[in-house]
């Protein structure tokens, strides 16, 4: 039961982290290169390397660990 809960947690929050991280990176790039929205205050050169890439990296790691730990079922010998 604990393995199922861990699998669901990592799957849910891994996908959520990747999408939120890409959304933050996309919003930042949109405001820097296309059109600056009034809510956007701008960034220093180091600030874009904050939470967006960290979320994508963490989510990707969780999803990769799910794929790596999901071993294929081996047929039982008769």
Is 41 contained in some domain?
yes
Residue 48 belongs to domain spanning: 16-69
Is 51 contained in some domain?
yes
Contact present, 10 and 69 (Cβ < 8 Å): no
Is 32 contained in some domain?
yes
Higher pLDDT, 72 or 34: 34
Look at residues 66, 53, 54 and name the one whose alpha carbon lies nearest to residue 12.
66
pLDDT score for 27: 81
Is 9 contained in some domain?
no
Is 54 contained in some domain?
yes
pLDDT in tens, 37-77: 777 666 665 566 678 889 999 999 999 988 777 656 566 67
pLDDT score for 40: 66
Is 35 contained in some domain?
yes
Structurally, how many domains does the chain consist of?
1
- Tracing tokens 């809510």 back to the chain, one arrives at 39
Rounded Cα–Cα distance for residues 28 and 33 (Å): 9
33 has pLDDT over 70? yes
């Amino acid at each position: 039961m604990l393995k199922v809960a861990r699998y669901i947690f990592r799957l849910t929050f891994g996908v959520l982290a990747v999408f939120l991280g890409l959304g933050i990176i996309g919003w930042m790039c949109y405001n820097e290169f296309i059109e600056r929205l009034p809510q956007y205050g701008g960034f220093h050169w180091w600030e874009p390397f904050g939470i967006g890439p960290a979320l994508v990296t963490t989510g990707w790691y969780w999803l990769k660990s799910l794929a790596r730990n999901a071993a294929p079922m081996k047929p039982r010998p008769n």
